[in-house]
Structure 1
C-alpha cells in the first residue's frame, strides 16, 4: 500500500478564482477588516489620512493598521515578517488585497502614528461598550513587568560610567599623541581613519557625561544605556532586567481590557488613582468600583478616589508594631478624636499632636506622661508612647474594609488571564520597540488584538 499523494504542481486546476473564497465567512480577520473600515482616521490623528493631491500615491493608513492588528492577533510583530506574510499568507493577502508594502514602510507607520494607534485601541473599547458587551460595574486593576528591548548588560551605574569614561580618556590621549607625531612629521596630513575614530570616542565620551548628569538630576542609582525610559525592575534575587510596568483595567464580567498604560514606575503604589480616573473618564461613568491587590495601597490615592466618585477596594499593606516581639499595642488600638486632633490610648490617656511629616503624609502623636499607667508594660518600653497616624487613615481603613475575599477572588480571576494571553502573543512579554512612546504604541496593538479575540469569544464574528 502506498502513501497519500498530493497533486502535481504543474497540473492546471479549477481553484477558487477569488481571494474572498479562501477566507471563511466567520474568520476573525473579517472582524479586523470591518473595525478598520469603521474608523475615522483623520479624527484619530493618523498621518496621510487624506491622500495628497500631487506626488506618488502612498499606502492607505487604514491598510497598514489592518496589517498590524492582524499581525499582533497572530503573533507576527516584526515588520520584516509582516512583509513576508503579505506575499505568502492567504488571510494577509485577502486583508491587504494583495498589497505588499516593504518592511520600512510598515515600521515607519508604527513609529509615526503612536498616539493614533492608542486612540484606535480606545475606539474599540467604546465600540464594545456601545454594543452592550460590558457594563464596567466592577473593574480590576493590575500591573505586570514586560521586558524592554535593551539587554540587561546595558544597565549602568556611576561606577560603570566612570570606568568606561577613564578608558575612553586614555584612548583619546593615545590618538591625540599619535596625531601630534603625525603633524610633526607631515604637518596637516592626519590619517582620516584616526580622525574618524577620535570623533567616535569623543561622541561616546559626551554621551557618558550626559548619562552621569541624568543620574545626578533624577537621583537614580542606575540607567539603561540606549533605552533610558526603561528601568531595572521585577522580582527575584538575580539582576533585574530593563523592563516597563504595564497597567491594565479589566472588566470582571467579560475580561475585556477597558484601559491600559505603560509606565516606568517600578511599583504599583502610585497607579491606583491615575488608572481608575482615566478608566472612569474614558467610559463616561459617573461612579465606578475598582478592585486591586495590596501593591496599589496608597492613602493619598484612596482619598482622591473617594472625592472622584470611585469606590476603591484595596487591602492594606501597612506596617505593624513589631516592638516587644509584636506583643505591644498596635496603632489600631488607639482611637482618633477628630474634634481635638488627638489619640486616646487603651488606658484612656490622650496623645497630643507632635509633628507633621508632609512627605510621608503622617502625623506623630505623643503621650505627655505615661508614668503610673497600668498598661504601660503592654504599650511601650520607652518613657512615653509615640504613634504615627496617616493623614488619609480613614480613607485607607474604608478602602481595606471593602477588599473582601469575594472581591479579591473576582480580581484574581479577571486580571491574570489578559496578561497571560498578551505575553504569549508577545513572545513571553518582551517589547520590540524602545522608549515609552514606542512601547505604548506596541502595547496598544497588543491590547487591541486581545480585545478583538475576547470580543469574538463573547459575541459571534458576524455580530461584531
Structure 2
C-alpha cells in the first residue's frame, strides 16, 4: 500500500491572492486584532502612542502589543522567538501586516510599558463584564508561587556577605602588598592591570556593603542578588527558590480572572483585604462576596472587609483547646459581653479585661474569683481561669461559619484551574523578566491571554 504523498516542491501553485485568505474567519488572532485596535493607547499610557513629527518613524505600540498578546496566547514569550514568528508564522504576518521588528525592539516594548500593559489587561476584563460574560456573584481568591529568573545560588544572607567581605579584604591586601614587587618583576605587564583588578574588588566590596545595609533597613535575613524584589518561597523541604507570589480574584461562575497582582509576600496572610478591595473597586460594586482558603485567614482583614461592604468566606485557622489535657472548657464556652467588655463563664461568673496584646491582636481576660465554683474542675487547674480573645473574634467566627464545605469546593474548582492553565502557558510557571515591575507586566500579558482564551471558549459554548 502506498503512503499519502505530498505535492512536488517544484510544482507551480495558484495561491490565495491576499494573506487574509490564510487566516480563518473564526481564528483567535482576529479577536486579538479587534481588541487591541479599540484600545485607547494614549489613555493607557503606552509610549509613542502619538507618532513623532520628526526623526525615524517608530513601530506602532498597537502592533507590538498585538504581537505580545498573540505570543503569550500561543506560549511564545521570548522576544527572540517572537522575532522569528514574524518571519515564518502566517498568523503573525497577518496580525502585523508583514512587519518584523527585531528582538531588541520587542523586548524594550515590554520593559518600558509595564503599567500600560496592566491597564490593557484590565480593559479586557471591563469589556467582558459589559458583554455580560460574568456577574461576579462570588469571587474566589487564590495565590500561587511563580519562579523568578534568578538562580537559587544568588540567594545571599548576612553570613554569606560577611564571609565574602573577609575574602575580598584579604585579596585586596595581597594585591597592595605585592604591587611594587609585581611591577619590578614584570615591568612589561600592562600598566593598569593590577589597579583595574583592585578597582573591581573595591566595587564588589561596596556592592556587598549596600546589600548588607538593605538587609538591615528592611529587617530581612536574606535577599536575591540581582533580583532584590524576589524572595525565597515554596512549600518543599530544603532551600526555597527565588519566587514571587501571584494573587488572583476569579469569577466562580465563568472562570475569568477579574483582578490579579504580583507581590513579594511569602504567605497570603495579608492579601485578603487588598485583593478583595481592589476587585470591588475595579468592578464599581457597593457589595462583594469573596471566598478563600485558610491561608487568607486574618482577623484584621476580616473586619476591614466587612467595614468596606465585602463579605469574606474563609476557613479560619484557630488554635486547638490547650486547657489541661484538652478536656477543660475551651474559650468558645465563654460569652463576650460587648457592653461591659467582659466574659461570662459557663457558671455565670465574670472575667474582666486584664491585658491587651497589640502585636498578637488579642485580649487576656481573668476571672475575679473561681473559689467554690462547682464547674472549676471542668474549667481550670489553676487558682483562676485566664482566657484570651481575639480583637476580631466576631469577624473571624462569622467568616469561618460562612466557609461551608460546598463553598470551599466551588472555590477550589474556580481558583485553581486558571493557575494550572497559566503555568502551562508559562513553561511551568517561571518568569522571563526581573523584579516586580517586569513580572507584573509579564503576568498581565499571561492573564490577558488566559482571559481571552476563556472568553472565546465561553462564546463558542453559548453559540
* TM bracket (short chain): over 0.9
Cα distance, 1:7–1:207 mapped onto 2, change above 3 Å: same
Q: Does the 8 Å contact 1:354/1:366 carry over to 2?
A: yes
CA distance in 2, matches of 1:462, 1:342: 57
Task: Note the aligned Cα RMSD (angstroms).
Answer: 1.9
CA distance in 2, matches of 1:39, 1:195: 55
Q: Does the 8 Å contact 2:323/2:330 carry over to 1?
A: no
Aligned to 2:341: 341
Paired residue secondary structure (2:243): strand
Paired residue secondary structure (2:129): helix
CA distance in 2, matches of 1:17, 1:173: 74
CA distance in 2, matches of 1:190, 1:5: 67
CA shift at 1:362, angstroms? 1.2
Q: Does the 8 Å contact 1:362/1:388 carry over to 2?
A: yes
Paired residue secondary structure (2:340): coil
How many residue pairs match? The answer is: 463
CA distance in 2, matches of 1:113, 1:62: 12
Aligned to 2:97: 97
Aligned to 1:306: 306
Paired residue secondary structure (1:156): strand
Aligned to 1:402: 402
CA distance in 2, matches of 1:34, 1:221: 49
Cα distance, 1:462–1:60 mapped onto 2, change above 3 Å: farther
Q: Deviation string for 1:429-453 (max 9, x for gaps)?
A: 0111110111100000000000000
Which residues in structure 2 correspond to 1:36-75 (within 5 Å)? 36-75=36-75
CA shift at 1:199, angstroms? 1.9
CA shift at 1:262, angstroms? 0.5
Aligned to 2:440: 440
Cα distance, 1:462–1:353 mapped onto 2, change above 3 Å: closer
Q: Deviation string for 1:151-199 (max 9, x for gaps)?
A: 1111111111111111111111122223343567899x97322222222
Which residues in structure 2 correspond to 1:36-435 (within 5 Å)? 36-182=36-182, 191-435=191-435
CA distance in 1, matches of 2:424, 2:196: 45
Q: Normalising by structure 1, what TM-score?
A: 0.96
Cα distance, 1:398–1:183 mapped onto 2, change above 3 Å: same
Unpaired runs of 5+ in structure 1? Answer: none
CA shift at 1:461, angstroms? 11
CA shift at 1:369, angstroms? 2.5
CA shift at 1:320, angstroms? 2.2
Q: Deviation string for 1:23-81 (max 9, x for gaps)?
A: 10000111001000010100000000000000000100000000000000000000000
Paired residue secondary structure (1:203): helix
Unpaired runs of 5+ in structure 2? Answer: none
Q: Which moved more, 1:248-257 or 1:369-378?
A: 369-378
Cα distance, 1:462–1:64 mapped onto 2, change above 3 Å: farther
